[in-house]
Structure 1
């Protein structure tokens, strides 16, 4: 069950049992990572719930916090359904590239197929912040290059930081 709130004509938020939650606990992992999650293919809310359970059971990560879920229009390729987006805060001991590879394996587990930029997808996992690190390589830019320009990141982040 989700509590739905319409922000404007194109933006809607959802709060549920696991999304919009502070789960803080002591963690033995070293790095705090902010991950943007999104999708627009299939039952995305249900997939987010499965992702929540997956992370809760995986000893390689500690799930600390989740934001509300935001329904928002696509950007880039416009010929697709609206997206659902959220933010999760994890504690990990993996280095940035190892964690990026881990996220790609998780996406694949949840049936992500990479076809073209901004294509419809079952699950998209993006590193927004990795501890207090700054890096820019071909494979990874931290903080995420355009995080501050996207409602799909800013609105869920504001929910976490309220």
Structure 2
């Protein structure tokens, strides 16, 4: 495992309190130029009126889990402010995955971009489409290590 640092990862910005909610998202991918895709994602979020970036972690390169016959993953954490509800925020992230070329084939499959909500405020919920906090975040070094690198308390 190795951390990578660049212009957008890590970064810390003044939190925009005009947005009601704080979301912590895990970002990942292992197909194509993932680090460039992360930069493009950062720019996409920065240009969106639906979200404001508060902080990002360094990018962690780590081995896959589950399905092992694939490239290593790159993972990072982004802290986002938004006024979208948790359900609408999930739909927004799924839309972004799609426009960035995500194809869902099987569990733990290789992917261009994966966006997971780790925390959304302090909400605890379990529905068919969304479980908060993310049920496996404590078990994944790809989440825990970038989380530990954040400067602000979550």
Corresponding residue of 2:84: 94
Corresponding residue of 2:149: 159
Q: CA deviation at 1:26?
A: 2.8
Q: CA deviation at 1:24?
A: 2.1
Corresponding residue of 1:25: 15
**Structure 2 unmatched runs, 5+:** none
For each residue in 1:19-59, what CA deviation from the matched residue of structure 2 results, as whole angstroms up to 9, or x when unmatched? 01101233311000000000000000000000000000001
How many residues are aligned here? 152
Corresponding residue of 2:135: 145
2:118 pairs with 111, 121, 128, which one?
128
Corresponding residue of 2:71: 81
Corresponding residue of 2:103: 113
Aligned-partner SS, 2:104: coil
RMSD of the TM alignment (CA)?
Answer: 0.9
**Structure 1 unmatched runs, 5+:** 1-10
Which portions of structure 1, spanning 4 or more consecutive aligned residues, are displaced by more than 4 angstroms? none
For each residue in 1:94-128, what CA deviation from the matched residue of structure 2 results, as whole angstroms up to 9, or x when unmatched? 11111100000000010000010000000000000
Normalised TM-score (structure 1): 0.92
**Aligned partners of 1:21, 1:69: CA distance in 2, in Å?**
11
Q: CA deviation at 1:70?
A: 0.2
Q: CA deviation at 1:157?
A: 0.2
